[in-house]
Structure 1
Amino acid sequence: MTQSIVVQVGQCGNQVGCRFWDLALREHAHVNKKGVYDEALGSFFRNVDSRGAGTCDIVGGRIHRLKARAVLVDMEEGVVNQIVQGPLRDLFDTTQLLTDVSGSGNNWAVGHMTYGSAYRDQIVEKVRRAAEHCDCLQCFFLIHSMGGGTGSGLGTRVLGLLEEEFPEVCRIVTSVYPSDEDDVITSPYNSVLAMRELTQHADCVLPVENQSLVEILTRVRLMSRAPGPGLKTDLLSNPGGGPEKPFDSMNNIIANLLLNLTSSARFEGCLNMDLNEISMNLVPFPRLHYLVPSLAPLHSLQAPCSMAPRRPDQMFSDAFSKDHQLIRADPRRSLYLACALLGRGDLLLSDLRRNIHRLRSSLSFVPWNPEGWKTSLCSVAPVAHAHSLLALANNTCVKGTFSALRDRYNRLYRKKAHLHHYLQEDGMELSLFSQASESLSSLIEEYDQLDHASASCPPDAPRLQIAT
């Protein structure tokens, strides 16, 4: 049995993580009616019942003998305190938490340099302690935002520590990118400085844009007002009940992304995918490990409703449309290096094969990997829904997000605005800004080269033959 550990850093990382644990428990309670601690639960939870294997009361959100395989880090106490005082308080203990009181002041250098150095040993100790409870540690999931100081700075410092201490364990990062009109004026600095660390130390990065989440929510709510059977929205914003908090609806989308991504690790299926296979099959070049996620159908983000579920074929088409991408991009107009389809519920192998055959003619793949598909089927659907689909595209369309970020960074850097706040931190040098900018430009150029090489390659060019 393999296990994974979730590392949540910063306000955004902990809010998204909290939603993931809430929804994951609900899925396990729905499937595991007797609450028996089994292999599925063991993938992300450990049993602390001194009597050994037994039952775990997870029905109704109550957890008595389960602990999440997680480490929660934030340099402000607010969000973590809300978690440990809320419905999931029994899921974590103090050995899994690390907080400060002052925060990082929206400054990557404070998070990465100052707090990263001050709390290095404590972070390593907490991660090691979580790893010691695993029989076979397979993957770290890091959740953080790019715009703030703790998420971008300390989050990427933690990522480097994971590589340093556990070099053989896969590192999958979910990074939330700020919108163009982000209220943190220094977010372009923080994001570009963090990008260099993600490119160097992550195995896979799932970029999610705040603006894309807002647009998805707008479409979902328009669907709920459409004539005919409507969509109920009570679970869209807050599956745990209670008053809605800022960004709850957006966090719920990211949590559903993680639920679909980890479904094969948590439940059985006719075509389960090992988490290590994601990077093995989707990342042909080490630096080009940014995988654009999309979810379908959108109504699976909602409460059970009277709306007829989308037909499987329509759901596959939706997953490749720009309206379902978690970044603002259209992968069908760009080049695919590889693509994964992770299905859940009543989907069949024939559904996967039929739709891949149907869609492939409209998608552009690199000439040397025309069969670059990875597929997975998990038999357990999201609670109260028939099926769902997560697509992960290693696609050159991601360079649009990176180019827009670089432009915002350059506009700020040309004025040398706010640089003194960064340079006053120990270990922070002006050269780090130029190195981060060059790293991002180099990444964009690598995607450009793939686009140009593919455009100049004739359709009948000989393909690489692999000896068997």
Structure 2
Amino acid sequence: MTQSVVIQVGQCGNQVGCRFWDLALREHAHVNTKGIYDEALGSFFRNVDPRSEEGSGAPRSRIAGLRARAVLVDMEEGVLNEILQGPLRQLFSTTQLISDVSGSGNNWAVGHHTYGSAYREQIVEQIRKAAEHCDCLQTFFVLHSMGGGTGSGLGTCVLKLLEEEFPEVCRLVTAVYPSAEDDVITSPYNSVLAMRELTEHADCVLPIENQSLVDIVSKIQHMAHTGKPSCVIKKDCTIISGQGGVSKTEKPFDAMNNIVANLLLNITSSARFEGSLNMDLNEITMNLVPFPRLHYLVSSLTPLYTLADVSVPTRRLDQMFTDAFSKEHQLMKADPRHSLYLACALMLRGDVQMSDLRRNIERLRPMLSFVPWNEEGWKASLCAVPPVGHTHSLLALANNTCVKTSFMQLRDRFIKLYRKKAHLHHYVSVEGMETSGFSEALHSLSALIDEYSQLDSTRSSRTHQTPRLNIAI
């Protein structure tokens, strides 16, 4: 069994990470009713003697013998202190947490250059320790946001460190992008500067947009308040429950963070549980990234009520596949159906048969445009263990040119600030940061958009003959 290490950077990265740990424990407890440490748990947790490690004086609990394979980094103490006092505190030793007191001031340069230099050795040491506890380290998951200073700056600095220290280990990044109405005025600077690093140093990036998360949560809440008996959210609902990884008090972003955590649960399901058609994490990059720079995957989750534990009648399985390709279920403000697919992965969980998969791919194929040289570019996995309380779920990962629309909007917001030289002095006054860094980041993003645009231009030459179905295994 392979193992993965999760690196959480910044406030958003740590809050999302702790929602993941909490929900992962719930899934494993549901399957592993005897509470025995097994290979499934070993993928993201290691077994320890609670009496031999720090915190042995704390009351024993269901997680007393487990440590998360994680490194938690934030240049403000707030969230990490909450974690150390929260319900999941026994999952982490204090050495796994790296923090400062002043934060990055929403400045990419401070996070990347100032804190990146100051904490480099400490971060590398903790990552090495986490790696040494793995028998077969397969993937680093980096969780961070793009709009702030620590997540975008230090998060991308950590990404470069991983490439330098562990070049053979896959680097999979979950990056939360700010909305156009973000209250951090410098978020376009931070995001575009971070984009250059993600394009150059990540193996695969799952971009998540805040606005999409807001829209999905609103839709779920609307479902729950229709007054219909079939749409009542359970008391232990994972979408709104504050009984999560950070504290027992409900936080404003808990529901949004939970959606991202569910994305991580689904993408790692084959690594944690058995299935008739498991997908190795390395296969995501191998099958979905034909060009090294074009590694941004649009993700969608369905059914939406799975996220909320909403008790609604079981919908037809075919509808779940249809929803996965609708713009309402995407975790970016994008519509992949009207753009070009480079490749697509369908990660199914629960009571789904190969015949269901084949039937729906055949049904959906005529509606979707693939690049001419990869019209059979489907990858699929079937994991036997469904989300807790449900029969099935689907995560779709699409390498699709629709991402360029979001990137173009981000570039426009960046240029609007950059033309006025607004707030530029806050960045160039940081040691290691030069004005040229802005023009280079803008050029990198524009080049990325151009590469997607060039692929889009091939749509006109696409042949409309339906090829033989071929599901990658």
Aligned equivalent of 2:344: 339
Deviations 1:145-203 (A, max 9, x none): 00000000000000000011000000100000000000000000000000000000000
SS of equivalent residue, structure 1 residue 336: strand
Q: Is the 8 A contact 2:50 2:64 kept in 1?
A: no
TM-superposed CA distance for 1:238, in Å, is 2.3
Aligned equivalent of 1:44: 44
TM-score, normalised relative to structure 2: 0.94
TM-superposed CA distance for 1:455, in Å, is 1.9
| Structure 1 residues 219 and 233: alpha-carbon distance in aligned structure 2, compared to 1, 3 A threshold | farther
Moved more, 221-230 or 103-112: 221-230
Deviations 1:192-230 (A, max 9, x none): 000000000000000000001111111111212235321
Out of 375, 399, 417, the position equivalent to 1:394 is 399
Looking at structure 1, the residues matched to 126 and 158 of structure 2 have their Cα atoms a distance apart, in angstroms, of 11
Looking at structure 1, the residues matched to 209 and 82 of structure 2 have their Cα atoms a distance apart, in angstroms, of 25
| Structure 1 residues 180 and 78: alpha-carbon distance in aligned structure 2, compared to 1, 3 A threshold | same
TM-superposed CA distance for 1:370, in Å, is 0.4
Aligned equivalent of 1:111: 111
TM-superposed CA distance for 1:460, in Å, is 6.9
2:267 corresponds to 1:261:
yes
SS of equivalent residue, structure 2 residue 34: coil
TM-superposed CA distance for 1:132, in Å, is 0.3
Q: Is the 8 A contact 1:238 1:252 kept in 2?
A: no
Aligned equivalent of 1:56: none
One-letter amino acid of the counterpart of residue 389, structure 1: L
Q: Is the 8 A contact 2:371 2:462 kept in 1?
A: no
Looking at structure 1, the residues matched to 420 and 466 of structure 2 have their Cα atoms a distance apart, in angstroms, of 48
Aligned equivalent of 1:231: 232
Aligned equivalent of 1:466: none
Aligned equivalent of 2:470: none
Looking at structure 2, the residues matched to 309 and 255 of structure 1 have their Cα atoms a distance apart, in angstroms, of 23
One-letter amino acid of the counterpart of residue 442, structure 2: S
SS of equivalent residue, structure 1 residue 237: coil
Identity in percent = 73
Q: Report 1:27-426 matches (<5 A).
A: 27-49=27-49, 62-226=62-226, 228=228, 229-232=230-233, 234=235, 235=237, 236-238=239-241, 240=243, 242-303=248-309, 305-426=310-431
Q: Is the 8 A contact 1:22 1:61 kept in 2?
A: no
| Structure 1 residues 461 and 264: alpha-carbon distance in aligned structure 2, compared to 1, 3 A threshold | closer
| Matched length | 455
Ranges in structure 2 where 5+ consecutive residues have no aligned partner = 53-59, 468-473
TM-superposed CA distance for 1:371, in Å, is 0.4
Looking at structure 2, the residues matched to 108 and 310 of structure 1 have their Cα atoms a distance apart, in angstroms, of 45
One-letter amino acid of the counterpart of residue 382, structure 2: L
Structure 1 runs of 4+ with >3 Å offset: 456-462
Q: Is the 8 A contact 1:231 1:299 kept in 2?
A: no
Looking at structure 2, the residues matched to 395 and 288 of structure 1 have their Cα atoms a distance apart, in angstroms, of 9
SS of equivalent residue, structure 1 residue 27: helix
SS of equivalent residue, structure 1 residue 144: strand
TM-superposed CA distance for 1:233, in Å, is 6.1
Looking at structure 2, the residues matched to 461 and 364 of structure 1 have their Cα atoms a distance apart, in angstroms, of 11
Looking at structure 2, the residues matched to 342 and 61 of structure 1 have their Cα atoms a distance apart, in angstroms, of 33
Moved more, 264-273 or 230-239: 230-239
TM-score, normalised relative to structure 1: 0.95
One-letter amino acid of the counterpart of residue 14, structure 1: N
TM-superposed CA distance for 1:84, in Å, is 1.1
TM-superposed CA distance for 1:61, in Å, is 7.0
One-letter amino acid of the counterpart of residue 241, structure 2: N
Taking only aligned residues, the RMSD between alpha carbons, in angstroms, comes to 1.8
SS of equivalent residue, structure 1 residue 162: helix
One-letter amino acid of the counterpart of residue 373, structure 1: W
Q: Is the 8 A contact 2:5 2:139 kept in 1?
A: yes
Looking at structure 2, the residues matched to 461 and 261 of structure 1 have their Cα atoms a distance apart, in angstroms, of 29
Looking at structure 2, the residues matched to 330 and 459 of structure 1 have their Cα atoms a distance apart, in angstroms, of 21
Aligned equivalent of 1:15: 15
TM-superposed CA distance for 1:95, in Å, is 1.7
TM-superposed CA distance for 1:420, in Å, is 0.3
